[in-house]
Amino acid sequence: MVRTGMALLMVALAAASGCKSDSGGGAAPAAADPFADRKIQAVEPHNMTQEAGRKPIFRWKLPAILHSPNIVTFKLLEIGLAEDPRKGVEQARQIALVTGLAGASPTEVDPFKPLAPAVITGEILDLKQLAPNTWYCWKIRALSDLGAGDAIFFFRTRPDDAAPGATP
């Protein structure tokens, strides 16, 4: 009983002084997400960006485990008007699929001008720019000898044209 009381007192004192206790109760802020360095991160456009350009160039950061990927694919889906685009993914329409990015540029793609040997398919081939005030989601899938990762991000386009005189 005395040992239990002493242990609780030590944990309380450690918590009050800001020290890390052995009980695991006080996790350091840097360890808040131990898998953060294993996730694909959006660089441009940032996740949930609003007022994004209508001819975006997509950029992302691969985690160390995927540093030298064998396969990278990119998908662009049009969600449309939505209050919360994350709830519209099931009804989203795929407008672009880009494969072969590992050999072209494993961390960036311009879906209107992908670099060789990347291959693009979908109705984006017939578009000059994306629709105005529309939610989109973009997905990245990467595979390396050490692992695999995928991510999904959302953005909404701005109402004006990407370039003067451009038509959708």
The number of domains in the chain is: 1
What tokens were used for 33?
């997400």
Paired sense of beta strands 148-157 and 93-99, if any: unpaired
Q: Give this prediction's pTM.
A: 0.74
In a domain, 137, yes or no: yes
Mean pLDDT check: name the lowest of 16-25, 69-78, 83-92.
16-25
In a domain, 100, yes or no: yes
Structural domain range at position 47: 35-157
CATH number, domain containing residue 112: 3.90.280.10
DSSP codes, 100-123: -HHHH-TTEE-TTSPPTT-EEESG
In a domain, 82, yes or no: yes
In which band, very low, low, confident or very high, does the pLDDT at 111 lie, cut at 50, 70 and 90?
very high
- pLDDT of residue 50 exceeding 90: yes
pLDDT for position 82: 82
User: Residue-wise over 123-133: b if at least 16 C-beta within 10 A, else e?
Assistant: ebeebebbeee
What tokens were used for 34?
């131990």
In a domain, 166, yes or no: no
Higher pLDDT, 10 or 157: 157
pLDDT for position 30: 45
Please give the Cα distance from 78 to 73 (Å, whole number): 17
